[in-house]
Amino acid sequence: MLITGQSGSGKEMVARGIHQASKRTGHPFVAVNCAALTESLIESELFGHEKGAFTGATDRKIGRFEAANHGTLFLDEVGELPLGRQTKFLRVLEEQCFERVGGTKSIHVNVRVVAATNRDLPAMVKAGTFREDLYYRLSVIHTIVPSLGERPTDIPILAHHFLLRLRSQVARNIDGFSRDAMNAMCAYRWPGNVRELRNAVERAIVLGDGNQLEVADLPPELFTGSGDPAVAPAVAPAVAPAVAPAIVAATAPVAHSPAAEAQAPMTLRDLEKNGIIAALQSTGGNKARAAALLQIDRSTLYKKIKDYEIGS
């Protein structure tokens, strides 16, 4: 499977969601950044090596393919694989077997390979820097992840997700986002995509001092020159059908009237409940797919459905 999209658009999150929603979920998910591996070490990292295979190989090493047996191997930045190493990689994809560096014994594995890149692989094929047969082997299923600016109604769900993951960095209790803070995040185009959103939430957690994240806690680039939140673009249902109308209504910009200012911000509990409802609606009630979309275990989803009395 091949996942393409802009840098920071959440390709690894998609790969993890695929793994968690599959029958392989109880087995390893092994991620490899191909851009971080030198050409001389790629074979050892992917396929392992035997003791004494080269200088410094003092012990046998299990490679990433072997470590991911029965699970999923996620190859990020697959476009950075050196051309000279692509031939062996293609053979492993075709035959699901390989030899460790310095070894002669064939090792058979059962691995789902999910590759991701922000590079234009067809253009690289034409330029002769990426093997055509490897490209077609990887792209049996090709998924394009839109930029975060193209799916703005995902912003509340992702912001909430990152808040839950990162709020333990500080000692104070953080319940959620103020309405103005969420409006500002929904209005911003996020050129750095999901990665930039995560960094913004982390910054707000660290710099804030209340039990809600406020506009002042967010990075300054989220605002216009006057310092006011930008006006959020209208979101057609076709842009991001996975998000419930309740979330769109709860996070849309509101007029600065006394009634609006008196309205209480959404609590973290409300955002979480709405996010679960949205995921269930978008998957037709399929709890396994909804859990994968929300990046949580199915058992956690079942518990939250019961706690929030969703569908009762």
Q: Is the pLDDT of residue 250 over 60?
A: no
| Whether residues 38 and 156 fall in one domain | no
Q: Which residues contact 219 (CB under 8 A, 6 or more apart)?
A: 199, 200, 203
- How far CA 26 is from CA of 96, 162, 228, 296, in Å, comes to 20, 24, 47, 14
**pLDDT at residue 27, as a whole number:** 96
User: How far is residue 227's CA from residue 202's CA, in Å, rounded to a whole number?
Assistant: 21
For residue 280, what pLDDT band results from cuts at 50, 70 and 90?
Answer: confident
- Residue indicated by tokens 């390989």: 98
2: helix, coil or strand?
A: strand
122, 145, 168: which is the final residue of a domain? 145
Q: Same domain, yes or no, for 99 and 218?
A: no
User: Of 145, 160, 193, at which residue does a domain stop?
Assistant: 145
Pairing of strands 2-5, 142-145: parallel
Structural domain harbouring 14: 2-145
Return the structure tokens found at 310.
């969703």
Q: How many domains are there within the chain?
A: 2
**Residue 57 burial (CB count, 10 A):** 15
Residue 261 has pLDDT above 90, yes or no: no
Compute the residue count for the chain.
Answer: 312
Instruction: Kindly report the pTM of this predicted structure.
Output: 0.65
- Looking at the structure, do residues 59 and 182 belong to the same domain, yes or no? no
CATH code assigned at 131: 3.40.50.300
Please, which residues have CB within 8 angstroms of residue 288's CB and are 6 or more apart in sequence? 21, 298
**Domain co-membership, 193 together with 244:** yes
Locate tokens 């789902």: which residue? 112
- Token pair belonging to 97: 């077997």
For residues 49 and 57, is the Cβ–Cβ distance under 8 A? yes
* 138 and 188 both lie in a single domain: no
* Same domain? 278 vs 153: yes
**End of a domain among 115, 145, 175?**
145
Q: What is the pLDDT of residues 23-59, one digit of tens each?
A: 999 999 999 999 888 877 888 889 988 888 888 888 8
Judge if 207 and 257 occupy the same domain.
yes
Q: Are residues 159 and 122 in the same domain?
A: no
Q: Distance between CA 277 and CA 297 in Å, rounded?
A: 16
> Are residues 171 and 61 part of one domain?
no
The single residue listed with the structure tokens 């190493």 is: 85
Do 103 and 8 lie in a common domain? yes
The answer to whether residues 104 and 119 belong to one domain is yes
CATH number for the domain harbouring residue 201: 1.10.8.60
- Pick from 66-75, 85-94, 149-158, 240-249: least confident: 240-249
pLDDT band at 68 (very low <50, low <70, confident <90, very high): very high
- 31 backbone dihedrals φ, ψ, rounded to 5°: -105, 135
